[in-house]
Structure 1
């Protein structure tokens, strides 16, 4: 790999100590796993690779991915767990048991004050078709592609209020400076 990354103050050259490191997943806490799983599987076509329950700690983890048609996933649960933790770009939904029964319970979405976490992002092959799909499925928009100063970028909300950026890569070539 000849590309060494864009350089800015603070960027340091990686050492051999971090060779093989990769981002595996991002975790979102969800109030009701049934609703969250319905949203991510129906709207974004994700599949649950593995569910891990921790009875003593009263929580479950759901690891989701958008698999390719020809992707081979191990059937054996142990092998699939290892395979799951070797992947890139997974979404982990964490459910703390009992939250779904609390009517006034909600997690902070990161975009309300005070701001922190911002969003996850999906790249789609056709942004206009994705917007139509979201409309057809009652997905709440934060921003459509033709709105605001940042064109060709969509933001929607999931069932817990987390923001999801949706982009079409080939429409972003001129983005930024």
Structure 2
């Protein structure tokens, strides 16, 4: 028996705002969408176009309060082929929430407060 990653899910308050953020900040694009017939939810799957892994954004129609992310110890990590250019983009976007220069990494925060780690590509 074996298992492979399929996707990670995060719930979002404003689907379009999140789609715009993930497109601009990380270059992710929509590859699949599922909408409930009654309009109660929309699932959008994003891809980086290189790996088979996807990020599922879930929007729930009846959700009115921001999600409680607890201690926000969960995060997704992305490698950047041009780390310096990525850092400059995220700096201009104002979404860098934590930097660890000694480790050579930083984190950005999406519109719902989820943290995304940015790593330099290994050479």
Q: Same fold (TM over 0.5)?
A: yes
4+ residue stretches of structure 1 with deviation over 4 A?
none
Whether contact under 8 Å (2:83, 2:121) holds in the other structure is no
Q: Which runs of 5+ in 2 are unaligned?
A: none
Query: How far apart, in 1, do the equivalents of 2:99 and 2:46 lie?
Result: 25
- 2:118 aligns with 166
Count how many residue pairs are aligned between Structure 1 and Structure 2.
123
What is aligned with 1:90? 54
Larger strand share, 1 or 2: 2
After superposition, give the CA deviation of every residue in 1:41-89 in whole Å (9 maximum; x if it has no partner).
Answer: 1111111001101134711100001125xxxxxxxxxxxxxxxxxx721
d(CA) in 2 for partners of 1:23, 1:106:
28
Quick one: higher RCO (CA 8 Å, sep 6+), 1 or 2?
Answer: 2
Give ranges in structure 1 of 5+ residues lacking alignment: 1-16, 69-86, 172-177
Q: 2:80 aligns with which of 115, 124, 133?
A: 124
Secondary structure of the 2:81 match is: coil
Q: What TM-score comes out, normalization by structure 2 length?
A: 0.88
Distance 1:30 1:55 in 2: 19
Please state how far the C-alpha of 1:130 moved relative to its aligned partner.
Answer: 1.0
Q: Partners in 1 of 2:97 and 2:47 — Cα distance?
A: 23
Q: Is the 1:27–1:91 Cα contact (8 Å) retained in structure 2?
A: yes
Q: In terms of Rg, which structure is larger?
A: 1
Distance 1:110 1:41 in 2: 26
Match of 1:66 among 48, 67, 74: 48
Contact 2:109 / 2:116 at 8 angstroms: preserved in 1? yes
User: TM-score if structure 1 supplies the norm length?
Assistant: 0.63
Kindly indicate whether the alpha-carbon contact (under 8 Å) linking 2:6 and 2:53 is maintained by their aligned counterparts in 1.
Answer: yes
Rounded Cα–Cα distance in structure 2 between residues aligned with 1:111 and 1:160: 14
The CA distance in 2 between the partners of 1:168 and 1:111, in whole Å, is 25
